[in-house]
Structure 1
Amino acid sequence: MGEIRVGTCSWTDRAFVASGWYPEGHRGAEARLRYYTARFPVVEVDATYYGLPSTRNSALWAERSPAGFRFDVKAFSLLTGHPTRSAALPADLRPALARQRGRTEPDPGLLDEVWARFSGALLPLRGAARLGAVLFQFPPGLAPGGPAEAFLRRCRERTAGWPVAVEFRHPDWWREAHSARTAGLLAELGMAAVAVDMVQTLPVSVPPVAPVTSDRLAVVRFHGRSPAWGTGSKEDRFRHTYTPEELASWAPRIHAMADRAREVHVLFNNCCGDAAARAAESMRRLLDTSAAPAPVD
């Protein structure tokens, strides 16, 4: 059976830091990371979606974490097809972004440079064997079809040899009509599918399936079950306290994923106060004591 690693989607979220989960004396950047890594074996870096990472930060993260720890790093917004603010780019790249306003595709030269800086900044993590995956969270507008598949192939060409995980926000990718093709495409590209837990009562709800498309890695991200998904503030969208029953419903699927992948990363994104950390702690205890797995969806 593969190793199951449970953690949270950020260790620096403002509400998380302010919640009191970090004790006195562990509020600085280095102390927070060392405290977190002593309690969880994996974390997601979400700040890299909002702005390009730096080589210096990657080196510090590697230095301040124990051997074997994993950082799953979210791909920068421009690389996943999301709208990107000019302020999110380094100053020397902002004029190129301004010139492409109104275009449907980013300027190739700008894209080349952003890819080079993004991947270059992660080299310290990769060199220290701390990089768990580069997480591509694609926007809701990326629906199944030829153009989207071509986009995925281009992303894979850019990340050849890197561990990659893919989360689709358009629900059709994992609905019955497309799920087999989606799994086959990701397996062909060597990309790990991301299973999603979220509220299931909305038109945009992603089905809670748990495919394994890579023998190297499988990922589950728990977004909470707020009915305010897609509306309101960040706190409204992600405010949810997982019940023991909700967590237990995933335990057999996670165990089954671990039968088919060397690592399974289970990450909590219900980032309101310390809810993600508490859910992660509960899930880890549950997985240690839960029964044999059921078949994967």
Structure 2
Amino acid sequence: MGHVLVGTCSWTDRALLASGWYPRGRRDAEPRLRYYAEQFPVVEVDSSYYALPSRRNSLLWAERTPPGFRFDIKAFSLLTGHPTRPTALPEDLREGLREGLRENRRDGTPELPELRELLDRVWERFTDAVEPLRTADRLGAVLFQFPPWFAPGRPARRAERTLEECAERTAGWPVSVEFRHPGWWRGEQADRTTALLARLGLIAVGVDMARDLDASLPPLAPVTSPELAVVRFHGRSPAWGTGSKEDRFRYAYSEPELAEWAPRLRAAAEQVDELHVLFNNCCADAAVRAAETMRRVLAAT
């Protein structure tokens, strides 16, 4: 069975810092990361979705964590077709693009020539920033989380072509893909999705979330790569898709809820070298507590 690494989707969330989980004297940047890495072997970087990551931070993160520690890096919003504020870009990339960014197609494919050029430059900056983690063997995967309107099939297989382009641009990287549109994993499409990601060398991401919503994804732990599988736990708040971030992710998992996932996780781990189990219910210390419980559940089964 592959290594099962359990962690959370942030170590710097303000609600976590305010919860008291970090001991006194371990709340500044360096001791905070070192403390987190003493507790868990993997973490997801979500700040890279909101702004391009920096090469300097990647160098510092690699220096402050032990061998074998993994960072899963969330792809910048523009790379996954999400609306992107010009202020999220470095100053030298902003000029002349404020209107163009608002016109970006909702399927994630920039049509204006200047936006295609911008996308190329953003890819270059993102790749350069992440490279120190890959060189130091700290990179778990780069997570491409596609928006709810990124749907399979029509129109004209545009989403599938976007995935193909993503695979070409990231050749040689470990890349994980999370869909927010439930159609990717429902019915016969689930087999087509598995085959597509496997053909492209992309890692499928399984999801736990509220299960009685129109946008709910089924509780699967799909495997499309022998190297890595990823499952992300978002919590089961009924406010998913509405309200504030805290409303969407405020959820405390019970031990029985986590235990029901154990057979799926073990089955996935049997097929891969490494399985990442990440908790995104980042409200106060709920994510770290759920990660601790999941680790205990898996150790006991």
Instruction: Give TM class, smaller chain.
Output: over 0.9
Give 1:254's aligned residue. Answer: 265
**Contact kept? 2:83, 2:104, Cα under 8 Å:** no
Q: Give yes or no for the alignment of 1:150 onto 2:161.
A: yes
Contact 2:235 2:249 in 1 (8 A): yes
Structure 2 equivalent of residue 64 of structure 1:
64
CA apart distance, 1:226: 0.2
Aligned to 2:131: 123
Q: Which runs of 5+ in 1 are unaligned?
A: 291-297
Query: Which residue pairs with 1:295 in the alignment?
Result: none
Residue of structure 1 equivalent to 2:185: 174
TM-score, normalised with respect to structure 2: 0.95
Q: Percent identity?
A: 67
Q: Distance in 2 between matches of 1:98 and 1:279?
A: 41
Q: 1:197 aligns with which of 201, 208, 212?
A: 208
- Report the AA paired with residue 126 of structure 1: R
Q: Which residue of 1 aligns with 2:10?
A: 10
Partner of 2:277: 266
In structure 1, the residue corresponding to 2:97 is in which secondary structure? helix
TM score, norm. by length of structure 1:
0.96
Match of 1:162 in 2: 173
Number of positions where the alignment pairs a residue of Structure 1 with one of Structure 2: 290
Deviation at 1:99, TM superposition (A): 4.6
Letter in 1 for 2:139: L
- The residue that corresponds to 1:95 in the other structure is 95
1:208 matched residue in structure 2:
219
1:107-158 C-alpha deviation (Å, 9 max, x unpaired): 1110000000001001110100000000000000000011100000001111
- Provide the C-alpha distance between the structure 2 equivalents of 1:75 and 1:193, rounded to a whole number of angstroms: 15
Superposed CA RMSD: 0.8
| 2:111 matches 1:111 | no
> How big is the shift at 1:177?
3.0
**Residue 21 of structure 2 is aligned to residue 21 of structure 1:** yes
Query: 2:252 and 2:6 mapped to 1: Cα distance?
Result: 16
Unaligned runs of 5+ in 2: none
Aligned to 1:219: 230
Which aligned runs of 4 or more in structure 1 are off by greater than 6 angstroms?
none
Larger mean CA deviation between 47-56 and 106-115 belongs to: 106-115
Partner of 2:148: 140
Amino acid in structure 1 at the alignment position of 2:164: R
Deviates more, 1:143-152 or 1:98-107: 98-107
Partner amino acid for 1:271? C
- Superposed CA deviations along residues 227-265 of structure 1, whole A, max 9, x for unmatched, are 000111111100110001100000111011010010000
Residue 145 of structure 2 aligns to which amino acid in structure 1? Q
C-alpha change, 1:166 and 1:103, in structure 2 (3 Å) is closer
Tell me the amino acid that sits aligned with residue 61 of structure 2.
W
Residues 96 and 110 in structure 1, CA contact (< 8 A), matched pair in contact too = no
Structure 1: which amino acid aligns with 2:199?
Answer: E
